Structure 1
Amino acid sequence: MQALVVPTATLHTLSDLEWQERPMPVLKPDEVLIKTQSVGLNPVDYKVVTGDHPTWTYPHTLGLDVAGIIEAVGANVQNYRPGQRVCGHGNLTQNGCFAEYVSFPADALADIPTTVSFETAAASLCAGLTAYQALYRKANLNAVQTVLIHAGAGGVGSMAIQLAKQAGKTVYTTVSKGKQAFVAALHPDAQIDYRTEDVDHQLQTLTHHQGVDLIVNTIGHPEADLPRLAYNGQLVCVLDTPAFPTNQAVTISNLDLGGAHRSGNPAQIADLGQMAFELLALVANGKVDPLISDVLRRDDLVTGLKRIQADQVVGKLVVNFD
């Protein structure tokens, strides 16, 4: 089968990636074999290329978000059968899904609703599940009225805005002026141009000096968000977390979506599939949209990653294999 690989441990740029003929995956008892139909492209897909990965074997196949058709099931798999349409977010320490076939833990999969395309399912996973986990696993929404979502034009930010609005929250977002028209279609209650406006001042005005109940930080530098929180506020960090402040009644959470695979905790691995199931139900019902901006051919996959790396993409890129 053809797969997009990092050929050796010494190569660390997107231009080094190669399509190679690779062996078919060997199924473990709890896995299924998926014939890839569509894959979603994410910033992490190019970022991992630049790093060192002692657990990888080379050539290493890239890719985390897959949607496809089950070809075969392992001996212990009871809830899936060949022919089913499924999708899932994978484990970056293992060979990935930028390949014609991929093996995948059955518990971490979700059925694709009949009204949802392979492209839409693949586009909904990494960013969508990160946003979903931030709001519905990490945060206590019962105590939240106002939400600040950083980088509202990004994959996580745009999904988080939709999910927070769907939950009935007042949503503020930081976004540069050039991307505000894109974000306006998601109906946030306020957009703050972080390049030209004082974010702290704007939030104090919007919240009548009470602060924000929940902040979803996808950009780093989380210390800047601590003074922006309301009393008993919550900060969910996709990147770094700050040192816990001793003088504030706040909750700080770190989010590592794919870490569920590496945890070895069966309940957490299964929750990846459960969250995907719940998220795709919202997508199927028109409640949220992964906002696909372009669907590429397989031969253009590396070009798509380079576009993401160059910050030339608003919305999601998807690649079709068939």
Structure 2
Amino acid sequence: MKALVVDTPTDSSIEQLKISDVPVPQPNDDEVLVKVHAAGLNPVDYKIVESGVDAWTYPHTLGLDVAGEIVSLGKNVTKWQVGDRVSGHSDLTKNGCFAEYVAVPTYELAEIPATVTYTTAASFLCGALTAYQAVERKANFATVRTVLIHAGAGGVGSIAIQLAKRHGCKVFTTVSSSKRKYVEQLAPDVIIDYQTENVTQRLKELTNGLGVDLIIDTVGKREAEKDLQRLAYNGRLVTIVDVPSITDMPMFAQGLGMDVVNLGGAHLSGNQYQQMDLGRMNAEMLQLVANGEVKALGIDVLPFEQIIEGLKMVKNHQVIGKVVVKMD
């Protein structure tokens, strides 16, 4: 089968990737073999090429977000059937889905509703499930009235805005000037242009000096440290990229809380319940999509032969929305 591979351990750039012929994988006892119809591209895909992964054997097939059709079953698999339409977010230490076929554990899978295409399903995995975990698993909305979501035009932020709005919260988001029009489609209550506005001062004005009840940070450690100072009493920070230092932060005095999202870490956790939650969150997310409650506003669809160009687009920030490659 054809697959996008990192050929050797010394290959560490997108330019060194190759589309090669590799054997069709065989599913183990608790896996299924999926014929790939569509695969989503994410920043993590090129980042792990550049950093390398110790567990890889070579050639290593890339790809985390798969949507396709089950074509064979491991001997312990009873829940799924050949022909089922499924999607899943996979383990980056294993051979992935930028290929014609991929073997995946059943715990990560969800059935794709009949009204949802393979392309759409592939676009609602890594970023969308990270947003879902941040909003629906980590946050507690019992006393949350205001939410700040950074990078509202991104793959995580654009979904998190929609999910937070479903909870009836007032949603603020940060964007660059060039992406404002895109984010306006998501109907956040306030858009803050971080290039021209003082985010901290703007939030004080918007909350009458109280601070924000919930912040979802998709930027990094330094921004997350600023976010801790932007929180209201009993506020909570959910951080996705890195963990801020809490030195000199009034965590106890202000009753502050912090959660960390590491979506793919469930694969290596050894915790079966958390692994199975990947599939549960996927199913819940897809149902919201099928119901029209959450929407993908932009999907760039490329043929598999252009997948390297697609990864370059993602790395060079030339994408608003998602890039998905179709295998057929």
Q: TM-score, length-normalised on structure 2?
A: 0.97
| Residue of structure 1 equivalent to 2:135 | 135
Deviation at 1:290, TM superposition (A): 2.5
Match of 1:312 in 2: 318
In structure 2, the partner of 1:271 is 277
* 1:235 equivalenced with 2:233 (yes/no): no
Alignment of 1:17-36 (within 5 A): 17-36=17-36
Aligned to 1:293: 299
> Stretches of 4+ moved more than 6 A in 1?
none
Deviations 1:193-216 (A, max 9, x none): 111100011000111111111100
Amino-acid identity (%)? 54
CA distance in 2, matches of 1:116, 1:42: 20
Residue 181 of structure 2 corresponds to which residue in structure 1? 181
- Cα offset, 1:249, TM superposition: 1.4
- Where does the alignment leave 5 or more consecutive residues of structure 2 unmatched? none
SS at match of 1:219: coil
Aligned to 1:111: 111
Report if aligned partners of 1:241, 1:253 keep a CA contact under 8 Å in 2: no
Q: Deviations over 1:9-29 (max 9, x none)?
A: 111110100011111112111
Deviates more, 1:292-301 or 1:4-13: 292-301
- Matched residue type, 2:69: I
Shift of the alpha carbon at 1:121?
A: 0.3
Indicate conservation of the 8 Å contact 2:147/2:172, yes or no: yes
Report SS of the residue matched to 2:147.
strand
Note the alpha carbon deviations across 1:202-259, whole angstroms, 9 max, x for none: 0001111111111000000211111100101010010111133344311111110000
Q: Which moved further from structure 2: 269-278 or 22-31?
A: 22-31
Measured against aligned partners, the alpha-carbon deviations of 1:100-146 in whole angstroms (never above 9, x if no partner) come to 00001111100000000000000001111000000011111222111
Tell me the amino acid that sits aligned with residue 73 of structure 2.
Answer: V
**Which runs of 5 or more structure 1 residues have no equivalent in the other structure?**
none
- Counterpart contact for 1:30–1:106, Cα < 8 Å: yes
SS in 2 for 1:155: coil
1:311 aligned partner, one-letter code: H
Give the whole-Å Cα distance in 2 for the aligned partners of 1:291 and 1:6.
Answer: 31
Question: How big is each residue's C-alpha offset from its partner over 1:255-287, in whole Å with a ceiling of 9 and x where there is no partner?
Answer: 100000011211111100000000000000111
Q: Do the aligned residues in 2 keep the contact of 1:37 with 1:67 (CA within 8 Å)?
A: yes
User: Residues 123 and 299 of structure 2 are in contact (CA less than 8 Å); yes or no, is this contact kept in structure 1?
Assistant: no
Which runs of structure 2 are paired with 1:94-109 in the superposition (5 Å)?
94-109=94-109
